[in-house]
Amino acid sequence: MNTRLQDEIKQTRPFAGLEQEAYLSLGRTWAILDHSTAESLRVHEITPTQYNVLRILRGAGEDGLCRGEVMERMVARVPDATRLLDRMESAGLIMRERSREDRRFVTTRITEKGLQLLAELDEKVLELHRRQFAGLDEKALRLLIELLGAVRAST
């Protein structure tokens, strides 16, 4: 079932242009997807942003990454990365280690607890994404991915 953005947000006047409607539709869609993801992760006491950090660090392996490298790989930028990592370290999901050669360099790694949480969440999050995109077949999903990539490339 398709819904019209104009109806959803109760806008009575036409959009200023297709670009505005596309932008607002993308933002509305992201808000809905992000909310349902946050709700499913809440029972595990993590946020979508923290989940993203855990996945990045799992992918980095034993070498880990510095704070800046983690932030470069984030899906969405966060304003205070240090506080985010502080909370995750306090929860035992990550660990940070200062370099002996250069005290300014701090490596962040996922802990066993973080790996266990991801292992528990992997299938649940994949199933959530399947439900979120159930209205699209494979061809439509591939087209959506291509179109979104084109939008990102033009900015």
For residue 123, how far is the Cα from the chain centroid?
Answer: 16
Inform me whether the pLDDT recorded for 125 exceeds 70: yes
| Whole-prediction pTM | 0.88
Look at residues 112, 96, 116 and name the one whose alpha carbon lies nearest to residue 104.
96
For residue 26, how far is the Cα from the chain centroid?
Answer: 15
Mean pLDDT of the chain: 93
Inform me whether the pLDDT recorded for 1 exceeds 70: no
Domains and their CATH numbers in the chain: 17-133 (1.10.10.10)
pLDDT for 2 equals: 60
pLDDT for 4 equals: 84
pLDDT for 103 equals: 74
**For residue 38, what pLDDT band results from cuts at 50, 70 and 90?**
very high
CA distance 135 to 106: 44
For residue 6, how far is the Cα from the chain centroid?
Answer: 27
Inform me whether the pLDDT recorded for 115 exceeds 70: yes
pLDDT for 3 equals: 67
Inform me whether the pLDDT recorded for 137 exceeds 80: yes
Condensed to tens digits (0 to 9), the pLDDT of residues 49-68 reads: 999 999 999 999 999 999 99
